[in-house]
Amino acid sequence: MDQQLVVYNSLSGKKEAFTPLVEGHVGIYVCGPTVYSNVHLGNCRTFISFDIIFRYLKYLGYKVRYVRNITDAGHLENDEDAGEDRISKRARLEQLEPMEVVQRYTVDFHNTLATFNTLPPSIEPTATGHIMEQIELIKTLVDKGMAYEVNGSVYFDVLKYNQHHQYGILSKRNIEDLIHNTRTLDGQIDKKNPQDFALWKKAEPQHIMRWPSPWGVGFPGWHLECTAMSTKYLGETFDIHGGGMDLKFPHHECEIAQATAIHQKAPVRYWLHANMLTLNGKKMAKSTGNNILPHELFSGENKLFSKAYSPEVVRFFMLQAHYRSIVDISEAALAAAEKGYQRLLEALTQLATLETAATNAFDFESWQARCHAAMNDDFNTPVLIAHLFDAAKAIKSAHNNQLDIDAATKEKLQKQLEVFIKEVLGLEMKLQHKKQSADDGLATATISLLLELRDQARLKRDFETADQIRDALLALNIQPNDGKDGTTFNIQ
């Protein structure tokens, strides 16, 4: 493949040619979940987006080290430096050990992503498994004068960092504006400046999760955890850092500041951010009831949708939007995705049994190049899917004797379609078969009888009767498909 992969770099705000630090190798770090509750669909969209990126990099032949962490400590409520640890709070409310909470929701996270057919990362480190690495990074920042200790807590000095670097480089925020718009909150009294953020927090007596450190018993800051884990497994500078758009500020901004202050160089070359998923045109929120968990969608046991939708259909729906755009999930959108997904898989079934021609009218090389161009343009899955539907349309035409496809082209098309659908898009290619009731069987038999009568009318050149049967079927959204071996039908 001669085409160059181009990615949208949030740091520069534009598309850039992707060139890894080490030829043939890619290091990618994605911020994983804070495991204090069931993973929601918005989270799943982010991880499915980066699953596509992981899959396509592998498809291009790169050896990829994909690191995705588990945050099991240090992430405080409202992403602030004050308040209660989210996991500790859940443990207190449910009267559990914090690690019971972590285990329960880590298992839920893994099971849900497996249901969506995402590949596991190469390494999945936990924050609590890297306390010593975080303490060493804090020591370095204190020694460099970029952090200070107050009453057992350690804070990063944002204003001092900004004297030689740019805090806000990723989110395009100006430090003066940040200072002007900052409110002093409870728990910030120890800070030199409200913009400073915690690297280590003193654990109050009631705080369940706590570790010894040179500054006293405490727990790590949320931002520091990712810097410790990403640099340990990918190096001081690595290729791609990803996460949800909501993490750009302050989380990723703080990661850049910490790592740059420690190593005196930019930690990441390409920053990639996935956008949010909305529900029925509104932001998902448990408080308003405009929220649904994956298993509720798969089972149909919810008040928002009239039926169940399979994980494959939900994944396919998400991939019909670019990962950087907001996508809204609704009954109409899922129903359309289900119909489209089935049409794609039915085309594969038709291709498998297609009788080939001696000549060929399908330009496979041009079609394949367009598919690659879509994915090389910042992993543009909706455009790739549009090209897959182009192939499905051509297959249907060939099935109806309206387009010639020879044996060599059929073989290449079969292999490439399966690779794009199964390996790149991560779809399991399972036709959604309904349980057939007696009524369904009677309906099928009736349609088959009508098609047989139509075929007989055509043989007798009674085209008026044949057309009447066809038009009656089309009015019922039943599409007759005339082929070499007789007439089949699809219900639209």
pLDDT tens by residue, 298-339 = 999 998 999 999 999 999 999 999 999 999 999 999 999 999
Write down the pLDDT at residue 291: 83
**Token representation of residue 27:** 């290091």
**pTM (two decimals):** 0.85
How large is the average pLDDT for residues 9-36?
97
**Model pLDDT for residues 182-215, shown as the tens digit of each residue:** 555 445 578 999 999 999 999 988 888 899 999 9
Ordered strands of the 147-150 beta sheet: 147-150, 153-156, 197-202, 218-220
**Model pLDDT for residues 50-61, shown as the tens digit of each residue:** 999 999 999 999
On the question of pLDDT at 450 being above 90, the answer is no
Residue whose tokens read 């996991």: 87
Alpha-carbon torsion (249, 252, 253, 255), positive or negative:
positive
Strands 277-279 and 282-283: antiparallel
Higher pLDDT, 436 or 112: 112
Write down the pLDDT at residue 84: 76
On the question of pLDDT at 362 being above 60, the answer is yes
Instruction: Quote the mean pLDDT of the chain.
Output: 91
* CATH number of the structural domain 18-274: 3.40.50.620
User: Do 278-424 and 18-274 have the same topology in CATH?
Assistant: no
Higher pLDDT, 197 or 78: 197
Can you say whether residue 300 is alpha, beta or left, with left for phi > 0 and alpha for psi between -120 and 50 degrees?
left
Task: For residue 423, give the DSSP letter.
Answer: I
Q: What percent of the chain has pLDDT over 90?
A: 72
Residue whose tokens read 């190469």: 122
Model confidence band, residue 435 (pLDDT cutoffs 50, 70, 90): very low
Write down the pLDDT at residue 180: 57
* CATH number of the structural domain 278-424: 1.10.730
Write down the pLDDT at residue 78: 64
User: 3-class SS at 30?
Assistant: strand
SS3 content of the chain, % helix, strand, coil (to 5): 45, 15, 35
User: What residues does each domain of the chain span?
Assistant: 18-274, 278-424, 438-491
On the question of pLDDT at 434 being above 50, the answer is no
Higher pLDDT, 47 or 466: 47
